[in-house]
Amino acid sequence: MNIAIVGSGYVGLVAAACMAEIGHQVICVDNDEQKVRALRDGECIIHEEFLPELLKRHGGTNLRFTTDLPAAVRDSSVVFIAVGTPPCETGEADLSVLETVCHDIAANVDRYKVVVVKSTVPVGTNDWVRRILIRYGASQKQFCVTSNPEFLREGTAVTDFLYPDRIIIGSDCGRSRMIMEQLYEPLTTGAYAQSEGAIPIPDEAPLPAQLITTHTRSAEMIKHASNAFLAMKVSFINAVANICEVAGADVSEVCDGMGADHRIGNKFLKPGIGYGGSCFPKDLMALHAVAREYGTGFHLLEEVMRINEDQRKFFLRKVRSALWTLKGKRLAVLGLAFKGGTDDIRESPAIAMVRLLLKEKCQIVAYDPAAMERTRQEFDDDSLTFAESAYEAARGADAMLILTDWEEFSILDFDRLKRELRHPIIVDGRNMYSLEEMERNGFTYVSVGRPDTVATANDAAIKERKTEAA
C-alpha cells in the first residue's frame, strides 16, 4: 500500500521504517527541514537497535522523507498521524499539533483515505479528529478515522513493531478495518518472520501477531490504561522495596516469589529510582485528566505518581548516607538516558537525580553509551562533565552511582573500578549486581530494597593507602 506517516519522532520514524520493511511504499513527513535532510542523507537521528539497518535498506526506494504534507496525503491511501501530544500544565494532552495536521490533511483528501491516529491521545479524540476533518472541508464519504495505538518500547522499538504482543485496530467502519487488516497481514500471518533477511525474532515473541479489533474509544483507552498499569507496577514494587529495607527483607527475593505467579509475572517488577521517558509520565497525567473531566476520579494514579517522585528523594538519601556529606564530593554517574538502549532523556529519572546532586554542590562526571550529547544540550553547569568510559568517570571519584540499566554496566571490571575509585563505594539505583558479587569484590554497595554490603576494613585501608601514594 501507499502510506504517509506524519511525524518522524520515535514512533513515526520506527513505524515508517518497519512499514517499508514489510513491503509498503512509505512517505515519512516532518516539518523540520534539517531533520528531513539528515534522514534523506541516511543518518539515523535516534538511537534504536536495527533502525539504522532498515533506513539503509529502504531509504530512497520504498521509504522516502519529505516536508511536503499535501503531496504525501494525495499520494497515499492510508495516512498515519504520529505527532507529539505533550502534557499541558493541567496534565491534559496538548492536541494543537494534531489539529494543525488534520487541517492540512482535510485540504488534500481527494479520494477515499484511512486516517490513522497513532499518536497517544485521550479517549474521544478520534471522534474529534473526524469532526475537525469535516470542518476543514473533507467530505465524510472520502475518509474514515481509525485508532491504531503504538506499544513500542524505546530500545526495542523495531522488534516490538515487527513482532508485537498485539495489534490494536479501533474502528467503527468496516471498510477501514479491512484495509488495516490487510496492511498488517505480513505480521498477522507470520509471513514476514519467515522472509529472507527478516529482523531476528526476539525470545518469547508471539507468532503470528495477534490482531484485536475494537471500537475506536476502546482502542484509545487501551493505550492509556496499559501504560498506567505498567507505571503502577513500577511504583508498587518500589513501595515494596522501601518496606523491605526497613523490615530486613530482600526485594530481589520478593520479586522472584511474586513473579513466579503467572497472574503477576516478573516484568516491570524492577525496583529502582522510578519510571521516566516520554510515555509513562504524560500518559498517567492524561488519563488522570480524563478521569477528572468525566467526574469519575482515579486517585490511585495520584499515588502512583507520588511514589515515583518520592523514590528519587529516597535515593538521594542513600547517596548522602553512603558519603555522609555531599557538598564538594566527586561522583561518577553511569547512565543518563531514562532506560538502557536509548538516547532519550525525556523525563529521565537519571537526569532528575543529576539535577538534585548538583543542587547539593556535588561535582559529577557522567558517562552514558548514547545519551551524553543530548544531555550536554540540557546543562551549562561546570560541575557536570562527561567521560568517555565508565572507568574514566570513576577515576578519583568518591563513589559511583548507577542510574540507567545499560547492559554494558552489568559486566564492568570490578578490580579496575576499585583502582580508579577513590573509595570502593557503589550506590546502585538499578540493582544491577548481586549482593554476593559486590561483597566478594570488597565494595560498599548500596542498592534498592536490599541490605547494604560494606567494604572490609583491610580493603578500605589498602585503597586509602593507594590513594595517598598516588
The whole-number average pLDDT for the span 439-458 is 90
- The answer to whether the beta carbons of residues 270 and 234 sit under 8 Å apart is yes
Note down the domain range covering 238.
229-307
Residue 273 falls inside a structural domain? yes
* pLDDT tops 70 at residue 460: no
pLDDT in tens, 119-138: 999 999 999 999 999 999 99
Buried b (16+ CB within 10 A) or exposed e, 208-234: bbebeebebbebbbbbbebbbebbbbb
> What is the rounded average pLDDT for all residues in the chain?
94
Domain boundary among 307, 340, 360: 307
Asked if 137 and 247 sit in the same domain, the reply is no
CA 464 to chain centre: 40
The larger pLDDT score, comparing residue 461 to residue 18, is at 18
Q: What is the pLDDT of residue 428?
A: 98
Q: What is the pLDDT of residue 457?
A: 53
Domain boundary among 158, 180, 214: 214
Residue 372 falls inside a structural domain? no
CA 70 to chain centre: 31
* pLDDT tops 80 at residue 462: no
Residue 368 falls inside a structural domain? no
Asked if 54 and 178 sit in the same domain, the reply is yes
Domain boundary among 157, 179, 214: 214
Asked if 51 and 167 sit in the same domain, the reply is yes
CATH number of the structural domain spanning residue 9: 3.40.50.720
Asked if 52 and 163 sit in the same domain, the reply is yes
pLDDT in tens, 257-297: 999 999 999 999 999 999 999 899 999 999 999 999 999 98
Asked if 200 and 241 sit in the same domain, the reply is no
Asked if 26 and 143 sit in the same domain, the reply is yes
pLDDT in tens, 187-203: 999 999 999 999 999 99
Tell if the pTM clears 0.85, that is, is over it.
yes
Asked if 246 and 116 sit in the same domain, the reply is no
Q: What is the pLDDT of residue 458?
A: 53
The whole-number average pLDDT for the span 163-174 is 96
Look up 44 and say whether it is catalytic.
no
* pLDDT tops 90 at residue 383: no
Q: What is the pLDDT of residue 422?
A: 96
CA 294 to chain centre: 29
Asked if 193 and 233 sit in the same domain, the reply is no
**Strand 363-367 vs strand 384-386: parallel, antiparallel, or unpaired?**
parallel
Helix axes 216-247, 280-293, angle to 10 degrees: 120
* pLDDT tops 80 at residue 456: no
Asked if 208 and 279 sit in the same domain, the reply is no
Closest CA to 270 of 307, 233, 304, 316: 233
* pLDDT tops 90 at residue 105: yes
Residue 332 falls inside a structural domain? no
Rounded Cα distance, 154 and 14, in Å: 10
Percentage of the chain exceeding pLDDT 70: 97
The residue annotated as part of the active site, out of 18, 144, 279, 362, is 279
Residue 158 falls inside a structural domain? yes
Residue 162 falls inside a structural domain? yes
* pLDDT tops 50 at residue 470: no
Residue 463 falls inside a structural domain? no
Buried b (16+ CB within 10 A) or exposed e, 361-373: ebbbbbbbbbbbe
CATH number of the structural domain spanning residue 246: 1.10.1040.10
Asked if 63 and 171 sit in the same domain, the reply is yes
Q: How many domains does the chain have?
A: 2
Rounded Cα distance, 338 and 404, in Å: 7
Asked if 143 and 261 sit in the same domain, the reply is no
Percentage of the chain exceeding pLDDT 90: 93
Residue 276 falls inside a structural domain? yes
Q: What is the pLDDT of residue 465?
A: 39
Asked if 145 and 54 sit in the same domain, the reply is yes
Name the residue with cell 502510506: 3
